[in-house]
Chains A and B, each alone.
Chain A
Amino acid sequence: MYEILNKEVLAQGTVVLNEISAPRIAGKAKPGQFVILKANETGERVPLTMADSDPKRGTITIIYQVVGKSTHMFADMPVGASYQDVIGPLGKATHLEKVGRVACVGGGTGVAVLHPITRGMKEAGNEVIAIIGARNKDLLILEDKMRAASHVLKVCTDDGSYGHHGFVTDVLKGYLTGPEKVDLVVGIGPVPMMKFLTKLTKEYGVKTMVSLNPIMVDGTGMCGCCRVTVGGKTQFACVDGPEFDGHTVDFDELTQRLAAYREDEAKSWARYKEECACRTR
């Protein structure tokens, strides 16, 4: 069993942080890698890229947006409760090396995944510009941590309630057209964001890494559920990724595949809400 040692509710309850006891995983985890979590006997296997790991404490940290049954079930677990299964670390770690000037761009809960990569890029000796965004101020997460992990932090909100009024791509464009060259962009966030971000950086010929989050089952390359088309070839995000060269990813296919179980997910979520209502009544 994998006990929840610490829990924080972020972004007005829509995003939750769990620090989970998992010594074997914590000892191995590197930025960019993910775990698969299963809450209980009947639960599904949910892949989440780790937001942090602490080998000394033997813990890993995940930050997730609460959207459907599984994530609500996760969010409903108090400190002291345990996940039945946590598997990892899975996927390839981010390739952290000194390339010069790196822009780390994150949207929504993607910022959680971006944070350890940003930190790693800075530790590797890069000049790191971080650009993070959310729909509004209340939904913005990890601002302080991202500021500490980078040299410059820019914040944007879609509604202008905080920082720059507009999208992260607008701010990034300023750097791409600026006098100093950007050597690498790391972009992590919702699929539409990554799609437009890579379109932009392609125009300027700047290499861009993205971290993909397709639906998975085993996470070890056994089932092919997470297949994505990259450079015209089928790749398994769980073992070949989750990070890929963003300029070669077929985001439209990824969007379609992410919607594969939308009706089932809605049914599950409705059923869970009903069960919870029964319990509190």
Chain B
Amino acid sequence: MSDKPVDKPKKDKVPRQAMPEQEPQVRARNFEEVPLGLSAESAVLEASRCLQCKKPSCVEGCPVNVQIPEFIKCMAEGDFLGGIRQIWQRNSLPAVCGRVCPQEAQCEGSCVLGKKDAPVAIGNLERFAADWARKGGTAELPPKAPPTGKKVAVVGAGPASLTVAGDLILRGHEVTMFEAFHRPGGVLVYGIPEFRLPKEIVFSEVNFLERLGVKLECNTVVGRSITVDELFEEGFDAIFVAVGAGLPKFLGIPGENYIGVYSANEYLTRSNLMKAYLFPKYDTPVVIGKQVVVLGGGNVAMDSARTALRLGADQVHIVYRRSRDEMPARAAEVHHAEEEGVKFQFLTAPTKFIADDKGRVTAMECQRMELGEPDASGRRRPVIIKGSEFILDCDLAVIAVGAGPNPLLTSSTPGIALNKWGYIDADPKTGKTALKGVWAGGDIVTGSATVILAMGAGRLAANSIHDYLMRGW
């Protein structure tokens, strides 16, 4: 049997080490990070639970194939430097991934221990190793290959781009990252709230890349400030496009343009990137809702609901048209939201917004749904229950029902092939697009997905770009 333990002290005696967290009632009113991080002692204990499988299924479950048993072995021995070095070989953003990856569906979901007991807390250990390194455990940089003289432009500065930039700079290429916003990080900075991913961590990861030599040009909207063709004219040999799925979806119901009705992109960008939660110290305001409704059932909906609580809401309802089982959000996010007092209205869909004479939203009319036959996605289709309309009072409504592809870059790039939804058509194995010398990855290819999947796409594209630069298309 391949899963046999290598050596066996009594490992089953150690329970999964709980992640210390801020108390729900306390944290629901502040923007500090919710989990506090493992102590060194509990990290070592947790790492000792790993069976060191010879054919580790956890590694297969990881989109970037972090060498999990190897890093955990170092951790169990208290060799945190060795641990972070092992992670860095495959993942340049461990402090981020340890916090936002859906581990239960990936590495931890594949952990053999999880069959009978709780899986090894791989995410928490990854987070610990990365935080240890960032907080002064080591200042070392990975070794770089000699310069190749090739120049790569990376468009966007989110997780896919950061991965490509990190991979290619280490292989000796010159890398310039172009970001439309005034800060790098993409969704890590504008989308994911401070209490889930402190921005200081993202900037520290970006700073790590800059120390390696990656150039960063913010405030540059590729598609407007400069086009893909012009980047080639400026001397770039290869271009990686990862501009995200930055086009908010609205519901198309009456009253959607009333004041106090936001797309989740706007609500979260105001709060996270522009730091509206610190208004008036920061100049960007945001509507402070007392009665809040959030529409949608994904991570973005959870982030919006929990942000509204922290900004002073008395009551927050997540309104979702399917049932709990169909919610796409990460389990931990739903759990955290419920602990903090967010209420759920399942099988409920909005029909219109109602406002006062100044155009400020005061309520939302909804109707109840029931689950019918499965639809194309395999999920049971919600069907309206006639006559079930009711009113939910609200002075803030956040629409978090997904995003589409932003056409700013693609519409200015003739020859780049798109699929029927407007996402870039790229080879899933290499990230190659229909245009020579242009790769794409992340949400602009897949539609809204996860940080780690974007990083996985970045890894594949980086390999393909390197291959092209050294050997040709």
Contacts and interface: CB of A to CB of B under 8 A. Distances in A.
Interface of A: 24-25, 28, 38, 42-45, 69-70, 84-90, 217-218, 220-225, 227, 229, 234, 239, 253, 256-257, 259-261, 264-265, 267-268, 271
Going nearest first, the 7 A-B pairs with the smallest beta carbon separation are A264-B285, A256-B359, A223-B266, A222-B246, A85-B182, A44-B283, A224-B263
Interface in B217-268: 218-221, 224-226, 246-248, 250, 256-257, 259, 262-263, 265-266
A89 B280 CA distance: 29
Nearest to A254: B257
B280 A271 contact: yes
B410 to A, nearest CB: 12
Interface string B166-191: 00000000000000111000000000
Most buried by B among A43, A85, A90, A218: A218
A28 B226 CA distance: 8
Contacts of B287: 260
A217 B406 contact: no
A224 B358 contact: no
A239 B408 contact: yes
13 contacts: A24-B220, A42-B283, A84-B182, A87-B180, A87-B221, A89-B225, A217-B274, A218-B180, A220-B221, A220-B224, A224-B263, A257-B359, A261-B285
B247 A28 contact: no
A86 B226 CA distance: 14
A42 B285 contact: no
Contacts of B406: 220-222
Contacts of A239: 407-408
A80 B256 CA distance: 44
Interface of B: 180-182, 218-221, 224-226, 246-248, 250, 256-257, 259, 262-263, 265-266, 269-270, 274-275, 279-285, 287, 358-359, 406-408
Contact of B259 (A44, A223, A257): A257
A69 B283 CA distance: 8
Contacts of A84: 182
A87 B257 contact: no
A223 B248 contact: yes
B274 A44 contact: yes
Nearest to B406: A221
Nearest to B279: A264
Contact of B224 (A42, A88, A224, A260): A88
Contact of A267 (B257, B265, B266, B280): B280
A162 to B, nearest CB: 36
A279 to B, nearest CB: 17
Contacts of B250: 224, 234
Contact of A225 (B266, B279, B281, B282): B266
A229 B220 CA distance: 28
Residue of B281, B358, B359 with most partner-chain A CB within 10 A: B359
B263 A223 contact: yes
Contacts of A85: 182, 218-219
Given A85-B182, A87-B182, A222 B248 contact: yes
Contacts of B180: 87, 218, 220
A227 B257 contact: yes
A265 to B, nearest CB: 7
B358 A256 contact: yes
A225 B257 CA distance: 9
Contacts, number: 109
A218 B225 contact: no
Contacts of A225: 262, 266
Contacts of A222: 246-248, 265, 269, 406
Contacts of B275: 42
Given A24-B226, A42-B282, A87 B219 contact: yes
A239 B409 CA distance: 12
Given A223-B263, A253-B359, A265-B285, A86 B219 contact: yes
Contacts of A87: 180, 182, 219-221, 225
A266 to B, nearest CB: 11
Contact of B269 (A86, A217, A227): A217
Contacts of A260: 259, 287
A221 B406 CA distance: 7
Contacts of B224: 28, 88-90, 220
Central interface residue in A85, A90, A260, by most chain B CB within 10 Å? A260
B266 A224 contact: yes
Contacts of A224: 248, 250, 262-263, 265-266
Given A42-B275, A44-B283, A87-B220, 10 more contacts: A28-B224, A44-B284, A87-B219, A217-B269, A218-B180, A221-B406, A222-B265, A234-B250, A253-B257, A256-B358
A268 B274 CA distance: 15
Contact of A38 (B182, B257, B358): B182
B257 to A, nearest CB: 6
A271 B274 CA distance: 18
Nearest to A268: B280
A24 B275 CA distance: 28
B301 to A, nearest CB: 16
Contacts of A45: 182, 274, 284
A222 B274 CA distance: 14
Contact of B358 (A42, A88, A259): A259
A224 B182 CA distance: 18
A127 to B, nearest CB: 32
A252 B270 CA distance: 25
Nearest to A253: B257
Contact of B283 (A70, A88, A218, A253): A70
Contacts of A261: 285
Contacts of B281: 42
Nearest to A84: B182
A70 to B, nearest CB: 6
A72 to B, nearest CB: 11
B280 A88 contact: no
A220 B266 CA distance: 12
Nearest to A91: B224
Given A261-B285, A271-B280, A220 B220 contact: no
A128 B259 CA distance: 39
Contacts of A24: 220, 225-226
- Which of A25, A90, A220 gathers the greatest number of chain B CB atoms within 10 Å? A220
